Structure 1
């Protein structure tokens, strides 16, 4: 569906929301599926036990051939249904508790400070995608997993191959296999020489006790490794664009840092980096919004459609850091909502506050509407060129 701009959802979402909130649409492979565009119906379906997340189901709707290859090849933790999903999620929940993640704040702050030190030292201009957005979450996940920082280049390159919408399906499968072998080797390494890191904990608490099988743990860690950096990297880059495009609200947040948590929630709502998911499939007939979704029908519930619903968010196309936006669906909803959301929130709060405190004159050197958008699973830009004023140096 055509967009009005690179960072805006298709206008057709608003039309369908008003006239046909659960609408029949045609997919790239010729199959039909249901597109849901209202916040209430999306929440209802994502919490309905008659709706499955299993990618191996023949009716599951994939966005592209590359996504079909990636998600059919590996039955990830997020594609399992209850009760199996509940068992695995319960196994992981305590490692991502808010209090535990909050203890990482000094670590994240040190990483951000070091990255901005490097940016300042190299001087303007800078590319904040390459020098900040990609670096912070990748270095953070390396710390959590007990990996040397240079390892980030390996898993970043494989994830970029997996998540490019125009990738060759065979290359997607190859990149997935490479990641699984990489993680399996990490598990073996931590079994031989455990450390004070998440992989070592999971090996000790779950694998060695028999609570999880090796294949399960490898698949979970592969997913955590990917989810722990790619989504946040894109949110950082796009968040900078949105904030610089709303200078009055940015000035309010930098003047009153207590506004940053609310500003991050509004950024998550307004941007909605997962623009083409979550997707599901019906396991029974479901009556909703005047239509019948039949058993085996694919269901598309884009978070961006829910997050721009005026019934849930008045004047939804306006960015407003004072909005009460916590009920957004950027992290999905129901039993499959994002396990790592406390970490994402922490990283975003730290990076935006620190960046604009240290570089208060930061500005884009390319208009926002001209930034190159990648054909990617997530809303994503190729580069983010910026400049700023250096005291005593004329521009």
Structure 2
């Protein structure tokens, strides 16, 4: 593809549009336009759906610098914030993920404990049990099977429901509304309605837990409501955030990671045949680096003028950090377009960086470790039941993955 880069101060209509398209036949790779910019070694501007022209940051070092800089804001209501979709008047933030400190830190601290390393590790036997039961069901059923519906989606959904205290029997309801919220092509009114339905559901659930608490995260937050630290709506919004993030991201990563491994059979064989938990953990981080399902970029707005990479980002200008291209930076990851599960990929930015780094990354890593290490060992003949060109990829959402993954064995 010819370079689409323009001088950084050129704001004409010929700026590249963002999100950029991936190259045909390269569903695992970042868009070529982002590669062009990264090779140029500087910041550039792009054009969004509303005509705004935020900066796009492609180099790994620059991404970490800006994501860790307190002079950038994650608040979508600030002027200049490069929203990926139209925002309805009066719409709120999705809990603390789109807030700044100190409010962000205050709310985040209230839900940090269940995601601490020791607490998450204690869940490993339960995650293993769920994984084995789902595979048992697959083995007993017909072939081919859609791995998304049979395995990738129910595994993290069951886990996050157990952690939060959400009845898994309601999974059709929250999964359907989650799909609306993460689809860029949905009208803002429809997105707001889905958000309202989920918030109302969680607020009702929290009310019931106040009368009959259990050993789960939402029940633990009821005491914060009674103490006046949180409102029922704030708890509901936290629940919406954790419920969506807890199943959508990991589900897509399980399916997309499996497809990437099936397309790289030498790496699949290494992972399938190992008993080394360190290699399994390394494989998870390498797949997170290689794929990075949050493909719309992290969005920020500058609060002050910031000098970086030979440019000045002015106060009020939007910033987009596409982590997928940052994770393919050859200055940090040699031969970055090669999937290599022996690589030390721990510096990847798939979970972001700075104060907004993903709260649930420890849980996501555990689920992926269990899923990848178990699925291929128990189904050693696992293979696609459709060609790569026939598999529907999620180009229209803020979370990347596949809608279906037909497999057999």
TM over 0.5: yes
- 1:393 match: none
State the alpha-carbon separation in 1 of the partners of residues 258 and 147 from structure 2. Answer: 9
Per-residue CA distance 1:38-59 (angstroms, 9 max, x = gap): 0000000001011000011121
Q: Is the 8 A contact 1:142 1:151 kept in 2?
A: no
**Residue 80 in 1 paired to residue 126 in 2?**
no
Moved more, 369-378 or 357-366: 369-378
1:70–1:176 contact (8 Å) kept in structure 2:
no
Distance 2:88 2:309 in 1: 32
1:11 match: 32
Equivalences for residues 272-287 of structure 1 within 5 A: 272-287=292-307
Which residue of structure 1 aligns with residue 66 of structure 2? 45
2:355 aligns with 335
Contact 2:111 2:217 in 1 (8 A): no
| 1:216 correspondence with 2:234 | yes
CA–CA separation in structure 1 for the residues paired with 2:72 and 2:117: 28
Partner SS state of residue 193, structure 2: helix
Question: 1:348-363 maps to which residues of 2 (within 5 A)?
Answer: 348-363=368-383
Corresponding residue to 1:25 among 30, 46, 61:
46
| Aligned equivalent of 2:78 | 57
Unaligned runs of 5+ in 1: 389-395
Structure 1 residues 291-316: Cα deviation after superposition (integer angstroms, max 9, x where no partner):
11111101000110110111111111
Q: Deviations over 1:192-229 (max 9, x none)?
A: 1001111111223x222333333322211111111110
CA distance in 1, matches of 2:94, 2:125: 35
| Equivalent in the alignment of 2:325 | 305
Q: Residues of 1 paired with 2:90 and 2:146: CA distance?
A: 32
1:100 and 2:115 equivalent? no
Alpha-carbon distance in 2 for matches of 1:387, 1:17: 39
> Which of structure 1's runs of 4+ aligned residues deviate more than 6 A?
none
Matches of 1:24 and 1:244, distance apart in 2: 36
Cα distance in 1, alignment partners of residues 88 and 198 from structure 2: 15
Aligned equivalents of 1:370 and 1:46: distance in 2?
Answer: 37
Provide the TM-score with structure 1 as the length reference.
0.94
**In the alignment, which residue of structure 2 is the partner of 1:230?**
248
Among 361, 383, 387, the alignment partner of 2:404 is: 383
Equivalents in 1 of 2:94, 2:136: separation in Å? 41
Cα distance between partner residues in 1 of 2:380 and 2:142: 14
Q: Distance in 2 between matches of 1:71 and 1:107?
A: 41
SS in 2 for 1:281: strand
CA-to-aligned-CA distance 1:218-267 (integer Å, 9 cap, x gap): 21111111111000010011011011111112211222132111000001
Distance 1:71 1:38, change over 3 A: farther
Give matches, 1:136-155, under 5 Å: 136-155=155-174
C-alpha deviation, 1:82, in angstroms: 1.2
CA contact (8 A) 2:63 2:321 kept: yes
Contact 1:55 1:75 in 2 (8 A): no
Choose from 204, 219, 222 the match for 1:185: 204
Whose helix proportion is higher, 1 or 2? Answer: 1
Give TM-score scaled by structure 2 length. 0.91
Contiguous gaps of at least 5 residues in structure 2: 1-19
The residue that corresponds to 2:136 in the other structure is 117
Q: Partners in 2 of 1:300 and 1:70 — Cα distance?
A: 23
Instruction: Tell me which residue corresponds to 1:392.
Output: none
Q: Indicate the SS of the match to 2:46.
A: strand
Count the aligned residue pairs.
Answer: 385
CA distance in 2, matches of 1:86, 1:74: 15
Q: Aligned Cα RMSD in Å?
A: 1.5
Name which of structure 1's ranges 361-370 and 98-107 shifts more when overlaid on structure 2: 361-370
Indicate conservation of the 8 Å contact 1:56/1:72, yes or no.
Answer: no
Could you tell me how far apart the structure 2 residues matched to 1:108 and 1:134 are?
13
Distance 1:169 1:109, change over 3 A: same
